């Protein structure tokens, strides 16, 4: 029985600093997760919106995909690579990003409705 091939992945420690202009950091978490804290200069497209919004991503760039822990982003990497992108999963996601001491921005002044 064959196992599906793991999508390409990189650890947070191996991500380039600063990010080159030829690369994109794509955050596929939900809006409330994004607002709680995200990587500076990341592009936010929630996982469920990727098929309809993939045209917003530069298909000439290397696309590093991040979620909270790496599961959702791995599925997005598989999809993007199938449709012609050069996508790489960020192992450990934003949890690993934060643990590595990488910078995080928050959207405290968001105008999106919040459910309380």
What amino acid positions are annotated as catalytic residues? 67
R_g of the chain, CA atoms, integer Å: 14
Asked if 77 and 57 touch (Cβ cutoff 8 Å), the reply is no
CA–CA separation, 85 and 77 (whole Å): 9
Nearest to 88 by CA among 100, 96, 77, 103: 77
Asked if 97 and 66 touch (Cβ cutoff 8 Å), the reply is yes
Residue 116: CB atoms within 10 Å: 3
């Amino acid at each position: 029985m064959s196992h599906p091939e793991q999508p390409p992945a990189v650890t947070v420690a191996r991500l380039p600093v600063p990010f080159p202009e030829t690369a994109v950091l794509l955050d596929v978490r939900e809006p409330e997760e994004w607002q709680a804290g995200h990587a500076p200069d990341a592009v936010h497209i929630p996982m469920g919106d990727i098929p309809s919004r993939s045209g917003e991503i530069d298909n000439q760039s290397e696309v590093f995909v991040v979620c909270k822990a790496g599961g959702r982003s791995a599925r997005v990497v598989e999809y993007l690579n199938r449709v012609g992108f050069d996508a790489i999963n960020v192992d450990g996601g934003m949890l690993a990003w934060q643990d590595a001491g990488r910078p995080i921005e928050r959207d405290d002044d968001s105008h999106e409705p919040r459910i309380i």
